[in-house]
Chain A
Amino acid sequence: MKKLNRRDFIKVAGTTAAVSALGFPVIGNAASKKVVIVGGGTGGATCAKYIRMADASVEVTLIEPNKNYYTCYMSNEVLSGRRDINSIKFGYDGLASHGVKVVHDTVTGIDAAGRKVMTKGGDTFSYDRCVVAPGISFRDNIAGYNDAAHDKMPHAWKAGDQTSLLRKQLEGMADGGTVLIAPPPNPFRCPPGPYERACQIASYLQAKKPKSKVLILDAKDKFSKFGLFKQAFSRHYPDHIEWVAAKDTGGGVKSVDVGAGTVKTGDGNTHKGDVTNIIPAQKAGKIAEIAGLTNDSGWCPVEHKTFESTIHKGIHVIGDAAIQKPLPKSGYAANSEAKVTAAAVVDLVNGREPGEPSWVNTCYSIVAPEDGISVAMVYNLVDGKVAKVKGSGGLTSKDSPAGDRAREVQYAYSWFNNITHDAFGG
């Protein structure tokens, strides 16, 4: 007798019964295939494109306020002057060429029961499935760091104008100055980002303003790729980077005085930065909160198999905003989650149950012009949750030779070119 596979089982049991018994998400009306995607960053753009690539009969509308997206990844090379801001800028013509309807507007609300998305421009978009990819917003964990303060002490954690502003401040700083970086507490977008940033800025200072230095006042005692970054700090920037753990300052930066150009740490000490980069604590992007997709943590709980919200059925949340641990809040993870979700959405709007997911994360940090480091991991679904595949992944070896480190820089550039083309390219 032949083995009973899943498809046979569905046939035998009957679609309706199987769906409810196995707890699959609601199977949509197969005749209607409208998907609205909220947010055009790496996750949203990838998802839109991959839905269209898998099934061109699905109508995909992507709503994004900005005409261009600036990637947070590689923006640290803009700060060091190794890269132009235009090289991290991506438009939406590529998606349009895949038949994605791109609407530049701001989403003001999502009616989960009525399956409708409302915009500032006064339009309403109905959907069978909605994908929300809102990125991050900031928490008020640092006193005095209000919107006006962003212009004086840029966060540069949403790339674009903020990146250019921080670069301009670095260029304008006199030699002998201190660049103060305040990394956020966990969890946050791009865990190795603040430390790669420190390396990139230090590399610029070393070459152009050698009497200056970077002072990192961390809100944590440990961070991503810790050993490799500590190695990079001492190997490349012994006189140009000083990292101070949270335990030595009473928890890092607690308040800022924009007028005086100073910050105060938890132990009551004041530090002066000639350029100050404050990266606040984070939560899911604003629209996620407005749409009621967040829980008490400020992030969005999702079923990992399909990234469908556990709060509102029919809405999927991907990228930095989702609670996707052990997947990190990285560009690669957002791209990978977007593809899993795209496949699930295509299955669901066609009345099929979603297939088994698979994810990868690969994250490079360029710590010196010829020194790249990486972390990678393969993930699968175990008991409904994302899990690391045992034996896979891990970090660049601390002992890896210079030649391999130089290759990792070239692979980092390849990663950047390929992932941005994968998300935004025609």
Chain B
Amino acid sequence: MPAKKSHAMLMGSVLLLGSSQLMAAPSASMLANTCAGCHGTNGVSTGPAAPTIAGKSAEYIKEVMEYYKDGSRHSTIMGRIAKGYSDEEVALMADYYAKQKFVSAAPKQKLDADKIKAGKKVYKKNCAKCHDENGRLPDDDSGILGGQWLPYLQYTMQDYRDGRQEMTKKMKKKVDKLDDAQIEAVLQFFASQD
């Protein structure tokens, strides 16, 4: 719309075009609420596998949705759903969920105390530098790992190790030298964080 046009002219054209032309985009909560059926009310998943998305950083959510859209991150269903939203809509949802409170799934999961113990050592040696605070922080470039549902962590790690999605060079160097038991242990450690 050229800047010179007056309100009156704009109003006239608007009325002719009909109400649909006037509509704003869906609000952040309108968009975000559609996720709750699978990811839980306000993004807190009751499990057993769908991840909690509340409290993740907006940067991370936007990046992951982009990867789902272009297929560079493997998924069963998220690729199909991510394609339904524009970048602007994703940004609204990302900001919305970044503001929600993350609730740890740890108390609701059946975990193995020995594995958690072993996992702590693996974590300290290999992961702590980037995923600090036991993976409990919403870092810009990674999701919240601490207190996440274990099957989701397992699926994601399996996809990394199978080459279905790319790890950063730093992470690949660490992950490649860990065996299955160490991987399982460290994932249990993450899942156990309150």
Cβ-defined contact, B47 with A6, below 8 A: no
Q: A339-B34, A408-B77, A413-B48 are in contact. Are A357 and B26 (CB under 8 A)?
A: yes
9-residue interface stretch from A202-210, A234-242, A250-258, A416-424: A416-424
Contact of B37 among A22, A335, A358, A377 (CB under 8 A): A335
Q: How far is the CB of B157 from chain A (nearest CB, A)?
A: 13
Cβ-defined contact, B22 with A22, below 8 A: yes
- A interface footprint on B124-142 (CB within 8 Å = 1, 0 otherwise): 0000000000000000000
Contact residues in B for A396 (Cβ distance below 8 Å): 76-77
Distance A12 CA – B35 CA, assembled complex (angstroms): 36
Q: A415-B38, A422-B41 are in contact. Are A362 and B77 (CB under 8 A)?
A: yes
Contact of B35 among A3, A21, A360 (CB under 8 A): A360
Cβ-defined contact, B30 with A357, below 8 A: yes
Whether B167 sits at the interface, judged by CB under 8 Å, is no
Contact residues in A for B149 (Cβ distance below 8 Å): 414
Cβ-defined contact, A421 with B22, below 8 A: no
Contact residues in B for A340 (Cβ distance below 8 Å): 30
Contact residues in A for B45 (Cβ distance below 8 Å): 414, 418
Distance A391 CA – B85 CA, assembled complex (angstroms): 10
Whether A172 sits at the interface, judged by CB under 8 Å, is no
Cβ-defined contact, A393 with B84, below 8 A: yes
Distance A378 CA – B25 CA, assembled complex (angstroms): 15
Whether B171 sits at the interface, judged by CB under 8 Å, is no
Contact of A355 among B1, B26, B84 (CB under 8 A): B26
Cβ-defined contact, A413 with B1, below 8 A: no
Whether A9 sits at the interface, judged by CB under 8 Å, is yes
Distance A336 CA – B34 CA, assembled complex (angstroms): 6
Cβ-defined contact, A411 with B24, below 8 A: no
Cβ-defined contact, A358 with B19, below 8 A: no
Cβ-defined contact, A1 with B3, below 8 A: yes
Distance A376 CA – B84 CA, assembled complex (angstroms): 10
Whether A70 sits at the interface, judged by CB under 8 Å, is no
Contact residues in B for A403 (Cβ distance below 8 Å): 158
Q: How large is the interface on B (under 10, 10 to 19, 20 to 34, 35 or more residues)?
A: 35 or more
- A interface footprint on B175-191 (CB within 8 Å = 1, 0 otherwise): 00000000000000000
Distance A21 CA – B16 CA, assembled complex (angstroms): 10
Interface residues of B in 1-58 (CB under 8 A from A): 1, 3-4, 7, 10-11, 14-15, 19-20, 22-27, 29-31, 33-41, 45-50
Contact residues in A for B34 (Cβ distance below 8 Å): 336, 339, 358-360, 378
Whether B173 sits at the interface, judged by CB under 8 Å, is no
Q: A355-B27, A378-B85, A413-B49 are in contact. Are A360 and B37 (CB under 8 A)?
A: yes
Cβ-defined contact, B77 with A422, below 8 A: no
Whether B80 sits at the interface, judged by CB under 8 Å, is yes
Closest B residue, CB atoms, query A383: B20
Distance A377 CA – B84 CA, assembled complex (angstroms): 8
Distance A5 CA – B1 CA, assembled complex (angstroms): 12
- B interface footprint on A4-27 (CB within 8 Å = 1, 0 otherwise): 111001001100000001111000
Contact residues in B for A404 (Cβ distance below 8 Å): 76
Contact residues in B for A407 (Cβ distance below 8 Å): 49, 76, 151, 155
Cβ-defined contact, B47 with A414, below 8 A: yes
Whether B83 sits at the interface, judged by CB under 8 Å, is yes
A-B contacts, CB under 8 A, total: 150
Cβ-defined contact, B77 with A411, below 8 A: yes
Cβ-defined contact, B84 with A362, below 8 A: no
Cβ-defined contact, B22 with A9, below 8 A: yes
Q: A3-B1, A22-B19 are in contact. Are A419 and B26 (CB under 8 A)?
A: no
Whether B113 sits at the interface, judged by CB under 8 Å, is no
Contact residues in A for B49 (Cβ distance below 8 Å): 407, 410-411, 413-414
Cβ-defined contact, B40 with A421, below 8 A: yes
Closest A residue, CB atoms, query B74: A404
Whether B111 sits at the interface, judged by CB under 8 Å, is no
Distance A356 CA – B37 CA, assembled complex (angstroms): 20
Closest B residue, CB atoms, query A408: B76
Contact residues in B for A377 (Cβ distance below 8 Å): 84
Contact of A356 among B24, B41, B76, B84 (CB under 8 A): B24
Q: Give the interface of B toward A (CB within 8 A).
A: 1, 3-4, 7, 10-11, 14-15, 19-20, 22-27, 29-31, 33-41, 45-50, 76-77, 80-81, 83-85, 89, 149, 151, 155, 158
A-B pairs, top 10 by smallest CB distance, nearest first, are A378-B84, A392-B84, A414-B50, A410-B49, A360-B34, A358-B26, A389-B84, A417-B46, A22-B19, A356-B26
List 20 extra interface pairs beyond A394-B80, A414-B50, A421-B41, CB under 8 A. Answer: A13-B11, A332-B37, A336-B37, A339-B33, A356-B24, A360-B35, A360-B37, A362-B38, A374-B76, A378-B34, A378-B81, A391-B84, A393-B80, A393-B84, A396-B76, A408-B77, A411-B38, A411-B76, A414-B47, A415-B50
13 contacts between A and B (CB under 8 A): A1-B4, A12-B11, A23-B19, A50-B33, A336-B37, A360-B35, A374-B76, A411-B50, A414-B50, A414-B149, A417-B48, A421-B40, A422-B36
Q: Give the interface of A toward B (CB within 8 A).
A: 1, 3-6, 9, 12-13, 21-24, 50, 54, 332, 335-336, 339-340, 343, 355-360, 362, 374, 376-378, 380-384, 389, 391-394, 396, 400, 403-404, 407-408, 410-411, 413-415, 417-419, 421-422, 425
